[in-house]
Amino acid sequence: MPRQKSEFDDLRPLEFREPDEVLEDEQMYTIYEVGRLLQGLDPDADLDVETENVLMDWAIPWMLKNSEQFVFAEPEDDSEPGYYGLA
């Protein structure tokens, strides 16, 4: 159900950071770690599945929009995620 803007105390502009503002140049990250970092969390933060899914909903489109700024490394095993880093 929509809510009135007046019901909220803090309205901020929606801002997306550039990949080099989120990731360290010499590091490679899983998509899960990227999602956490986008929200200002520790990349090793322990999250429940529902929260992790919401973070993926933000991280995947952000990475696609900025895909030219990323490199990809295959996972060591098919059951593990790949790794992403700055190009």
pLDDT in tens, 31-53: 999 999 999 999 999 999 999 99
pTM of the model: 0.83
Domain ranges in the chain are 19-81
Q: List Cβ neighbours of 73 (8 Å cut-off, separation of 6 or more).
A: 28, 82, 83, 84, 85
pLDDT of 15 strictly over 90: no
> What pLDDT score was predicted for residue 13?
87
| Mean of pLDDT values over 66-82 | 94
Q: What string of DSSP letters covers 1-16? A: ----GGG-S-------
> What pLDDT score was predicted for residue 14?
80
